Structure 1
Amino acid sequence: MSTYAVGFARPDRWSGSQPSQPSYPWHAVEAHRPPAELDGEVELAVCGAIVQVWGTQKWERVGIGRTGCPECARLTAAGRRLTRAS
C-alpha cells in the first residue's frame, strides 16, 4: 500500500486577471519519505497538478471529501471500501 501526503493547489497570486479558484484544491502526493518531511515542499500530485504539500492533512480523510481531486481519488482508490466476499 502506498503512502500519500496531501498537496494544496493555490491559485496564481501573480495573475493580472482574476485568479481562478480550483474546484478541487486538495491533491494526493506520493510520499517516498514520511509526509511530515515533505511539509511545505512543492511537489507533483498523482494527477499531475503542481501543489504545495500540507503535512497536517491526511489523504485518507481529505480524498473522500468534496474538495479532494476526483482524479487523485480515483488513482489512489481513496474512499473505496472493501466488500465482503459471499
Structure 2
Amino acid sequence: MSAYAVGFARPDRWSGSQPNQQTYPWHAVEAHRSPAELDGEVELAVCGAIVQVWGTQKWERVGIGRTGCPECARITAVDQRLTRAS
C-alpha cells in the first residue's frame, strides 16, 4: 500500500477561469517522503489537481469525509465515505 499525504486546493492559487470555491478541496498526494517533509510544498494530487500539502492531515481520515476528492478516494481505494444523516 502506498502512503499518501493530504493536499489542499487553494482558491488563491487557481486561474481566473476557475470557480472561487471547490466542493472537494482535499486531495491525496503520493508521498515519496514523509508528509512532514512535504508540508507546505505544492504537489500534484493523484487526480491531477495542483495542491499544497498539509502535513498534519491524514488522507485515510480526510479522504472519507464530505470534502475529500471522490476521484482521489477512488484511486487510493479509500472507502466508507461519510454521508449526511437523514
**Fold-level similarity (TM above 0.5):** yes
Structure 1 residue runs without a partner (length 5+): 81-86
TM-superposed deviation, 1:20:
1.8
SS at match of 1:27: strand
Q: Distance in 2 between matches of 1:31 and 1:18?
A: 27
SS at match of 2:11: coil
Q: TM-score, normalised on structure 1?
A: 0.84
Alignment of 1:23-62 (within 5 A): 23-62=23-62
Change (3 A) 1:33 1:18: closer
SS in 2 for 1:12: helix
Q: CA distance change for structure 1 residues 17 and 79 in 2, over 3 Å: closer, same or farther?
A: closer
Cα deviation digits, residues 21-69 of structure 1 (max 9, x gap): 0110000000001111000000000000000000010000000000000
Q: Write the letter of the residue equivalent to 1:20.
A: N
Partner AA of 1:68 in structure 2: G
In structure 1, C-alpha distance between the alignment counterparts of 2:44 and 2:14, rounded to whole Å: 20
- The alignment status of 1:75 with 2:75, answered yes or no, reads yes
Instruction: State the number of aligned residues.
Output: 80
TM-score scaled by structure 2? 0.84
Higher Cα radius of gyration: 1
Q: Write the distance in 1 (CA, Å) between the matches of 2:76 and 2:18.
A: 32
Which 5+ residue runs of structure 2 have no aligned equivalent?
Answer: 81-86
Aligned position for 2:84: none
Among the aligned pairs, what percent are the same residue? 89
